[in-house]
Amino acid sequence: MYNDSDIKRQPPGKHISYNPSGRICNRSSILIALLFSFFIFHFSFISAQPAEQDLTRAMALLDATMQRSFTGSDLRMYDTYNTSTHKGDGTADVWPYTAALEATCSVLEALDALRADSPSLYDEHHDRYVILLRSLFDNLAYYRGTYRVNSYAHRGPWSIYGVHRSSRKGGAIVAGIENVYDDQMWICRELTRAYRLTGDADYLTEATMLADYCLDGWDCCLDPNGNEYGGISWGPGYNSKHSCSNSPIIQPLAWLHELYLSPDETADYTYCYIAADSSRLSTQRLRSEVYLEFARKVYAWQKTKLLNRSTGVYYDMLGADNTIRYVTAPDGLRYRTHVDTGSPGGTAYTYNTGTMLAGTAELYRLTDEADYLTDLKKLLTSSYNQFGRWKRIDGVRYRQWPTDEKATSGFNCWFNDVLMRACVDAWAYDPDGAAKILNSYQENLDYAWEHYLTSDGFLPIDLLGGWGDSPVTKGFHQLAFAAEYAMLAVWQQRVLATDIASPAADARPFPDGAAPTYTLAGQRLTTPAAHGGILVTRGRKYLVR
């Protein structure tokens, strides 16, 4: 069982008391000192409280999940956990395990973001999460295996991650349908983040290899007009091309582009392609150039093929009969060839739109091209309208996001996490559009925390409806909630930093509605209008007279 004796539960917010350091003061001087202290520390220390509360809740959820949904020094992850019997069962696939990498990276990102305002929180917890991240990475090797694949323009061995966990490191079965490209993409994203957060070169090496493996799955066969068909199938053993096996690679490719871009970069990427005569050729290119090029290509392909233009959100997939076909190239070797994948269809899940939202945010940041900004704003509006539904509880309206009937019947908790974290990325470019979604996530998580948190430290998948008649959850879902709280902390901190730069914003009218409202010291108010002063709600500060 995962255990860390250094873990200390943090309160939701720090309570600040004025200390006159033993001086004898009359009431007037004390009041003056208090006011002086308030204005001096108003924007630097106290204003971090909503973000700090989000972060402490993220850490509590992550710690509870590591303690209860993982077992042994090798960090085997249970598939399910029963909050009634307090026992785990089964073994999770690599996809849920990846969520532990994500949640840990998100907590580290939040600790970095809040370091200036909450240095003690950073000092107490940062190193232990760096250690946890490394342990998760080392034990990810139980899902790793090696096999040879004949792709569209390349043949060779790869050491990547299978769906199922092996009993030994490096021993996983990964051939055929036993590995899928989306799993590699999720891992690539988190290991790229891990490198950015820690500087550990092992993470970058692995992320680079996984990015190359995913790009090896790009359908570079040529259509009658000499253009690539494009798209990445669900896996080397599938013909269907999914939203989830394309757009998740865009953001890590953008990050890798930046990491490799330098004046002294050398051409060490072997770029394989198909010539007009079906010859398989290769050339050496700069990684930074290839990664940005593919980020654009994947984005363009998915927007063309899988965007539902009537709803503004993304289809799940292009289907196929799953027949894998090969051709013999002029060099006498067999390579995979294109198979038509039919029309788009399937459920529109939040994560498929979320990965495109994150992708367009990165591409706009890197290129400053207006079309990406237009897409970003449209995706925020469409996501809010298509995925969110109003739910009234005790006279208060909440924006509810898709949920499942029970924890064992779907993955909407994590799907929603992908959309939410993309909104954090998009907020810088459309604050109002992103904030509508992010505020609703904040309200839903806080409602569940205050009403349904179990003694194990877990939340129900139905944040507004509770546990229902089943006590079963998944560590996968709890890690999604931990990641959400951590990224909300990052967002809240960015919002407050923006407000600090624009003090006049504090004089804006207090908004109508019943969103959670806090004092600058982190105290939640039931009647904010009666309290007055500077209050924080929906991620912004307001002066209430």
- Domain of 246, CATH number, reads 1.50.10.20
Dist CA 67 CA 457 (whole Å): 10
Six-digit token string for 162: 């299978």
Amino acid at 385: N
The amino acid at residue 267 is A
Number of domains in the chain: 1
Whether the Cβ atoms of residue 194 and residue 161 lie closer than 8 Å to each other? no
Q: Which domain holds residue 270?
A: 49-484
Evaluate whether residue 510 is within a structural domain. Answer: no
Burial of 378 from C-beta contacts in 10 A (0-12 / 13-18 / 19+):
middle
Q: Is residue 86 part of a domain?
A: yes
pLDDT tens-digit profile, the chain (545 residues): 444 433 333 333 332 222 323 333 443 433 433 333 333 333 333 344 889 999 999 999 999 999 999 999 999 999 999 999 999 999 999 999 999 999 999 999 999 999 999 999 999 999 999 999 999 999 999 999 999 999 999 999 999 999 999 999 999 999 999 999 999 999 999 999 999 999 999 999 999 999 999 999 999 999 999 999 999 999 999 999 999 999 999 999 999 999 999 999 999 999 999 999 999 999 999 999 999 999 999 999 999 999 999 999 999 999 888 889 999 999 999 999 999 988 999 999 999 999 999 999 999 999 999 999 999 999 999 999 999 999 999 999 999 999 999 999 999 999 999 999 999 999 999 999 999 999 999 999 999 999 999 999 999 999 999 999 999 999 999 999 999 999 999 999 999 887 655 544 444 555 655 566 765 545 566 666 665 555 667 656 665 55
Q: Residue 453: exposed, middle, or buried by beta-carbon count in 10 A (0-12, 13-18, 19+)?
A: middle
Convert the pLDDT of each residue in 478-500 to its tens digit. Answer: 999 999 999 999 999 999 887 65
Is residue 507 one of the residues assigned to a domain?
Answer: no
H/E element holding 364? helix 350-367
What's residue 455's pLDDT? 96
Answer whether residue 541 is part of any domain.
no
Q: Is 43 within the bounds of a domain? A: no
Q: Are 287 and 265 in contact (CB under 8 A)?
A: yes
Give a yes or no: residue 12 inside a domain: no
> Is 71 within the bounds of a domain?
yes
The structure's pTM equals 0.85
Amino acid at 420: M
φ, ψ at 246 (rounded to 5°): -130, -70
**Residue 506 domain-assigned?**
no
pLDDT of residue 322: 80
Residue 500 to residue 508: CA distance in whole angstroms: 14
Q: Which residues contact 344 (CB under 8 A, 6 or more apart)?
A: 305, 306, 308, 315, 316, 317, 318
